[in-house]
Amino acid sequence: MPPATGSAPSAAVRQGVWVGAATGLYGISFGALSVAAGLSVAQTCALSLLMFTGGSQFAFVGVVAAGGTGLSATAGAALLGVRNAFYGLQTSPLLGARGLRRLAAAQLTIDESTAVAVAQDEPGERRRGFWAAGLAVFGFWNAMTLLGALLGDALGDPRRWGLDGAAAAAFLALLWPRLRQRRARAVGALAALVAVLLVPAAPAGVPVLAAAVVAVLVALLRRPRPEGTAGERGGGPA
Amino acid sequence: MTGWLLLACAACFALKLAGYLVPASVLGDARMADAAALVTVALLSALVAVQTVGGGSAGAGEVVLDARLAALVAAAVALLLRAPFVVVVLVGAAVAAGCRALGWG
């Protein structure tokens, strides 16, 4: 979707494709898990195409597998989807998309596309990173979902291949440039700490959201009068 | 279940779209942009933490220290050594897979 500026893909595009491949492979687990939970192949593929946000999808089929109601499955999925609304606040001015393209951008607004976008310093690269990661994850995730739904977990447990380690490493690498700033580093560390403390106490989805709210409130309250230090709209390092 | 499934998909899309419906004038405000950037860093940091030590597929339940933590530490070391992105990702995968091959995590 973004205009190609040269023959070689930019760093942001390469990162996006790698993230897409690593995340997409998990689709095979999702597809297998969803069918095992009792959903049909069509329902499973519909979740990956239409919901397209991994945490929510795993939450939905998790509730179904445990024999929960459709209402609680829907509520669980929505709770895990709340963070995408916050991502949109940052990616929207960045992309400046209108009309159908804006709807496409919204559908592609997930952890991976946002992380690749904010990892870049230059506005054009941020846009290219968002679209590359979003489209790569969408392609891989949906293809692998279908494969997993039809074949079961053909790869075996993806953890055996270290796929979860790859995902954690990728997100850390994408966050890394932002963590150069002391304030962002403090917010990130506080959010991580609060999230871990909340893991045993709160339902899925809540630790990440609550931790982010706490960390940002602390950061904003500690600096009551920001003067000209805030990032420019859609530009500059965040 | 199909009805609930479609409703859940619609709810998730509405949440994604919500951020895009906030007027550009609001998002263009320096304080708002600053806060949105901090929220993103906080969310992704919390996500990394929960994905690394959270138990269960959706990261709920208990704190588990296993191969994922080793992978994250190895990735951080690679980043400190200024390794390129792809190398960092491969180090994370290799350390997690290696730990498990050795019977831990």
To the nearest whole Å, the CA of A213 is away from the closest chain B CA by 7
Residues 139-158 of A with CB under 8 A from B: none
* pLDDT above 60: residue A229: no
* pLDDT above 60: residue A238: no
Percent of chain A with pLDDT over 90: 78
* pLDDT above 80: residue A228: no
Buried b (16+ CB within 10 A) or exposed e, A18-43: bbbbbbbbbbbbbbbbbbebebeeeb
Average pLDDT, chain A: 89
Q: Regarding predicted confidence, which is higher, B34 or A223?
A: B34
DSSP chain A: -PPP-SSSPPHHHHHHHHHHHHHHHHHHHHHHHHHHTT--HHHHHHIIIII--HHHHHHHHHHHHTT--HHHHHHHHHHHHHHHHHHHHHHHHHH---HHHHHHHHHT-SHHHHHHHHT-SSHHHHHHHHHHHHHHHHHHHHHHHHHHHHH-STT--GGGGTHHHHHHHHHHHHHGGGGGSHHHHHHHHHHHHHHHHHTTTS-TTHHHHHHHHHHHHHHHHH-S---S-SPPTT-S--
How does residue B103 score in pLDDT terms, banded at 50, 70 and 90? confident
Question: Is some CB atom of chain A closer than 8 A to the CB atom of B103?
Answer: no
Question: Is some CB atom of chain A closer than 8 A to the CB atom of B3?
Answer: yes
* pLDDT above 70: residue A2: no
Count Cβ atoms below 10 Å from residue A184 Cβ, excluding itself: 22
How does residue A153 score in pLDDT terms, banded at 50, 70 and 90? confident
pLDDT, residue A237, reads: 43
Q: Which of B41, B63, B74 sits opposite A184 (nearest CB)?
A: B41
* Mean pLDDT calculated for residue range A50-71: 95
pLDDT, residue A231, reads: 44
pLDDT, residue A7, reads: 63
Percent of chain A with pLDDT over 70: 90
Q: Regarding predicted confidence, which is higher, A74 or B58?
A: A74
List B54's β-bridge partners, or say none: B63
* pLDDT above 50: residue A15: yes
What is residue B103's DSSP assignment? T
pLDDT, residue B61, reads: 77
pLDDT, residue B85, reads: 94
Amino acid at A20: G
Candidates B47, B69, B90: best to mutate against A (most CBs of A within 10 A) is B47
Question: Is some CB atom of chain B closer than 8 A to the CB atom of A217?
Answer: no
How does residue A81 score in pLDDT terms, banded at 50, 70 and 90? very high
Question: Is some CB atom of chain B closer than 8 A to the CB atom of A3?
Answer: no
* pLDDT above 50: residue A236: no
* pLDDT above 80: residue B105: no
The residue length of chain A stands at 238
CA B41 to chain CA centroid, nearest Å = 10
pLDDT, residue B13, reads: 98
Q: Which of B34, B58, B93 sits opposite A226 (nearest CB)?
A: B34
* pLDDT above 60: residue A180: yes
Candidates A51, A190, A194: best to mutate against B (most CBs of B within 10 A) is A51
Question: Is some CB atom of chain B closer than 8 A to the CB atom of A225?
Answer: no
Domain ranges of chain B: 65-105
Q: Regarding predicted confidence, which is higher, A23 or A235?
A: A23
pLDDT, residue A230, reads: 47
ipTM: 0.92
To the nearest whole Å, the CA of B48 is away from the closest chain A CA by 6
Contacts of A43 in chain B (CB under 8 A): 1-2, 5
Residues 50-89 of B with CB under 8 A from A: 50-63, 67-68, 70-72, 74-76, 78-79, 85-86, 88-89
Q: What is the pLDDT of residues B33-80, one digit of tens each?
A: 889 999 999 999 999 999 999 886 444 578 989 999 999 999 999 999
* Mean pLDDT calculated for residue range A216-229: 70
Geometric angle at alpha carbon B50, from B45 and B55, rounded to 5°? 170
Q: Which of A93, A204, A229 sits opposite B58 (nearest CB)?
A: A204
To the nearest whole Å, the CA of A29 is away from the closest chain B CA by 10
Question: Is some CB atom of chain B closer than 8 A to the CB atom of A120?
Answer: no
* pLDDT above 50: residue A235: no
Three-class SS state of B43: helix
Give this prediction's pTM. Answer: 0.89
Question: Is some CB atom of chain A closer than 8 A to the CB atom of B31?
Answer: yes
pLDDT, residue B56, reads: 60
